[in-house]
Structure 1
Amino acid sequence: MSSSRTSPSRATASVASILKESADRHADAVAVVVGPTETTYSELWAETRAYAGALRAKGVTEGSRVAMLVPNVTDFPRVYYAILSLGAVAVPIHALLKQHEIEYVLHDSGSAMLVCAAPLLGEGAPGAGLAGVDVVTVLAPPDLVTGFDRLEALAEAAEPIDTYVPRDPFDTATILYTSGTTGQPKGAEGSHFSLLEQTNALLLSTFKIEAGDRLLGALPLFHTFGQTCTMNVAFRAGATMVMVPKFDGDTALRVMVEQHCDIFMGVPTMYMALLDAATRTESRPSLKYAISGGAALPVAIIDRFRETFGAEIHEGYGLTETSPVATFNHVGRTPRPGTIGTAIWGVDVEVADPSVSDSIVLMPNGSIGEIVVRGHNIMNGYLNRPDDTEKAIVDGWFRTGDLATKDDDGYFTIVDRTKDMIIRNGYNVYPRQVEEVLASHPDVRMAAVFGVPHETHGQEIEAAVVLAPESTTSPDDLIAFVAEEIAAYKYPRVVHVLDALPLGPSGKVLKRELVQRFAPAHA
């Protein structure tokens, strides 16, 4: 899907135009801030063109697949847009993967090269070696001998490109790997059209971001949320992205105050960390609003955030395969806490019968069903997996695997993932409902509810929580608290108090790890 199909008689497009056009329109505006270093749009585009010239000299051309293992620093957009400027395909890799996981992504994507940040060579270099892929480094000091070419030095010696290579709108621009909750991760191919149209739709009628706004870039840029919603949208608007290379609540709060950030985007775990950090300082940023996605955000957290920071959280919903946003509590309208909003411009979102796999059977409003999406934001497909693509995209609709209801105003409320639903004594239990109750307890900082095998009940309900440091609340206290609020078949029979919950690349709680950890006692 990533080969060029352009011709003089057809339309062209490139995600690289996002940076190029803003460099023309906002040349002296600051595009990126990392620590004390500021980079303007004109500087970023010039550095990107130089990187592209270096990659071209190394053999990267139209349709090449180039992997990148780079953290949240200025080199991420430099490398990302350099790859796209050449008409090549960017394959961002999660910065915490181990060598065999990196080898898998490189093999599966057919990447010809890995651009790896020097601090990540410990896993990146062996992974590339196993895959037989060439490595070029960034962020390596000149006096550090790595055994690999430094992209910065190559850029100084190479001829910069003049501008980006035009592509067919439906050529693949990025290959982003899903988290692999079942089986091996799959590479979702995002087209130039879907990524550009997503960016424009978010900027025009979903978010409210303008030149001069300052966004905290704490979301990992290798993930679709940070890459599209923060980086591409900010750059398209001519706004400033203030980056935090490694997120923690105290650092993020301090940087937002020091850098006068007025918009925050994060996943639920980030909001919980910010609220925790706010208990240790009275400093607050002047936020216009905040955006949440990646997983359901408990209403109790939304309320606490409003009280603490004086800003509303606008929650949305999407997946890697939908570029990513499908629904959102649009900025400019009063958000409805507990919902994921309405469909974004140009995208259809409905609820379908999850028991029918070979066609889409839409269900009436108010029914619990599977969220299905169609529109300009749908991926080209899963790389080299036509069977998986056929199962996922049916009658033009992408099947998300998430359960929700839709009301008569078009607002969706997530119920849960189909695979996370617990069946206890034949009754359906949706973990999110139980998590909402746990999150309302004043001592609970994070909570995850999951099912474990049980001889008598089929599955038993358990929970894992992270408590406030000073808390004296016991697991039995929490069980009794939840049992007072919901039906007897729904409350957790066991609560595990942990120092931290296992998190995936996008900040989602990895419930499968909790199941693996606590299920043996019930086997």
Structure 2
Amino acid sequence: MSATLSLAAVLAESARRYPQRIAVVDGASRVSYDSLWQEALEVAGALRDLGVRPGDRVALQCPNTVDFPRAYYGILALGAVVVPVHLLLTAPEVAYTLRDSGARVLICHVAVAATGTGAAALAGIPVVAPSDLTGAAPLRSYASRDPSDPAVVLYTSGTTGQPKGAVLTHLNLVLNATVNVFDANDARSTDVVLGCLPLFHTFGQTVGMNGTFRLGATLVMLARFTGAAALEVMVREGVDVFHGVPTMYLALLDAAASHGELPRLRLCISGGASLPVPVLERFNAAFSTSIYEGYGLSETSPTATTNQPDFGTLAGTVGHAVWGVEVEVARAEVDDRIELLPPGSLGEIVVRGHNVFAGYLNRPSDTALAVVDGWFRTGDLGTRDPSGRVTIVDRKKDIVIRGGFNVYPREVEEVLARHPAVAQVAVIGVPDPVHGEEICAVVVASSPLLADELVAWSQSRLGRHKYPRQVHFVDSLPLGPSHKVLKRELRRSVVSQRASSIGVTDT
């Protein structure tokens, strides 16, 4: 008999070891490990009664409430595969995820019921609320799975085409959660962790939720993040561990200026986008703590490197590879093989180890381009010093990271190109002090068009993190010899002329 492993064991084992310990704080609600696990087994029973079977995919669209882990681990307990759904998408975008993943059913929280119900109708699958999945006869325990079986399919915005489902195995996710809390960070079972990162996102899901439950620590939910709300909750609940993207650290700094008591943060981890060194220094000073910046992608479960206590921290870098993972720099211009470069060289960051995903769902050609000679090609450019410390320098391709969320330029361009007054359009990321990068549409108009008109038009057709807040009009787009738009040149031009560009702020 082959070995078995399930991500569901992360919750099941903590329920066995620490049954009365508080797993989740959600407002006034405090849920013990034993209660959360029993509720997850009821969800598994209800899904079984709906005809879901081991290996089936179940979509989950839910904000950061206790309903998320209850449903997430219920799906896993049944032996099914979780497909987390981004909360900022429109109904047609959610429907694409449902169809592409082959989801059997959508579990949709009441807070996003309008979008989820519309998407499920478009995809032709049933939709149920978390409250519909209570009271069923629970499973006795979780279904056994092979370590290489899919556990979660995360839809990731690559750089071309439509979003792809990155298939993460039970081994990927169990090991990444374990390595994060037992090797990479000074995490403790007494930790009280703020769960403000979206749980549908790989960072919040693995480092936040799964890591916390692997330890038997406590996760304090915050469904809607603001700096003031986060400070209030952290002080009230005694939170001492914070995981966030750079925009969250900026928001906390802004809120701290007018907030009396500040939380005593023992451990802070940043990821999702590059953290400006001045922000890191200001935060460390204001909160008397140390931020450990890391790096990873959906395809690497996510953590690949992080600044670690064992190696010391260095601001502006993303630290060393985590336990059991190799991170190297390869020649970026060579696509069909991996040519590793000597320390100090600039090239493409490549990753090999237990954290590398099983491939893109039903996309073998995309998988073959991404995993070469056993290494995952990240598309990010960086360096690695002789000690193994990694610095990210730039992105090989044109992906835009707004507030920690990846956005495809091409996906946005294809929507904007449908506007009758748009002749040509290129979408780029421009530096933004709040979101890290902002979405900017550079447009050649075929008839009179105002920036406000185009933004409003795109707002109803793209998720809130995707539509452009800035529109820049030009007579023509710069083209290279092969008639491809020179986005690097475009970026330089737009940034230098930003005083004359039209910006629209999201409200």
Task: Indicate whether the TM-score tops 0.5.
Answer: yes
Instruction: Tell me the residue number matched to 2:314.
Output: 336
Instruction: Tell me the residue number matched to 1:11.
Output: 3
* RMSD (Å), alpha carbons: 2.4
Matched, 1:96 2:88: yes
How far off is 1:446 after superposition? 5.3
Distance 1:332 1:38, change over 3 A: farther
AA partner of residue 115 (structure 1): I
Cα distance in structure 2, aligned partners of 1:14 and 1:446 = 36
Instruction: Tell me the residue number matched to 1:138.
Output: 130
AA partner of residue 283 (structure 1): E
The share of aligned pairs that are identical, in percent, is: 49
Cα distance in structure 2, aligned partners of 1:449 and 1:249 = 20
The 5-angstrom pairing of residues 227-376 of structure 1 reads 227-376=205-354
AA partner of residue 337 (structure 1): A
Answer whether contact 1:177 1:185 (CA < 8 A) is retained: yes
Instruction: Tell me the residue number matched to 1:44.
Output: 36
How far off is 1:201 after superposition? 1.2
Answer whether contact 2:159 2:397 (CA < 8 A) is retained: no
How far off is 1:55 after superposition? 1.0
Cα distance in structure 2, aligned partners of 1:401 and 1:493 = 28
Matched, 1:215 2:193: yes
Match of 1:417 among 374, 377, 395: 395
Answer whether contact 2:42 2:133 (CA < 8 A) is retained: no
How far off is 1:454 after superposition? 5.6
How far off is 1:492 after superposition? 3.3
Secondary structure of the 1:404 match is: strand
Cα distance in structure 2, aligned partners of 1:384 and 1:223 = 21
Matched, 1:202 2:180: yes
For each residue in 1:480-505, what CA deviation from the matched residue of structure 2 results, as whole angstroms up to 9, or x when unmatched?
A: xxxxxxxxxxx834356857579xxx
Cα distance in structure 2, aligned partners of 1:387 and 1:346 = 27
Instruction: Tell me the residue number matched to 1:494.
Output: 498
Structure 2 spans left out of the alignment, 5+ residues: 401-427, 443-475, 481-485
For each residue in 1:328-385, what CA deviation from the matched residue of structure 2 results, as whole angstroms up to 9, or x when unmatched?
A: 1013543110000011111010001110000001111111100000100011100000
Cα distance in structure 2, aligned partners of 1:445 and 1:240 = 29
Answer whether contact 2:247 2:434 (CA < 8 A) is retained: no
How far off is 1:307 after superposition? 1.3
Cα distance in structure 2, aligned partners of 1:44 and 1:455 = 56
Secondary structure of the 2:263 match is: coil
Distance 1:87 1:11, change over 3 A: same
AA partner of residue 125 (structure 2): V
How far off is 1:450 after superposition? 8.8
Secondary structure of the 2:496 match is: coil
Cα distance in structure 1, aligned partners of 2:282 and 2:398 = 27
Is the deviation greater in 47-56 or in 291-300?
A: 47-56
Secondary structure of the 1:401 match is: strand
Instruction: Tell me the residue number matched to 2:365.
Output: 387
Cα distance in structure 2, aligned partners of 1:270 and 1:387 = 37
AA partner of residue 202 (structure 2): T
Answer whether contact 2:186 2:267 (CA < 8 A) is retained: no
- TM-score normalized by structure 1? 0.80
Aligned residues: 438
How far off is 1:212 after superposition? 1.6
Distance 1:270 1:501, change over 3 A: farther
The 5-angstrom pairing of residues 370-519 of structure 1 reads 370-420=348-398, 445=434, 447-448=436-437, 455=478, 459-461=489-491, 492-495=496-499, 500=505
Answer whether contact 1:450 1:461 (CA < 8 A) is retained: no
Instruction: Tell me the residue number matched to 1:33.
Output: 25
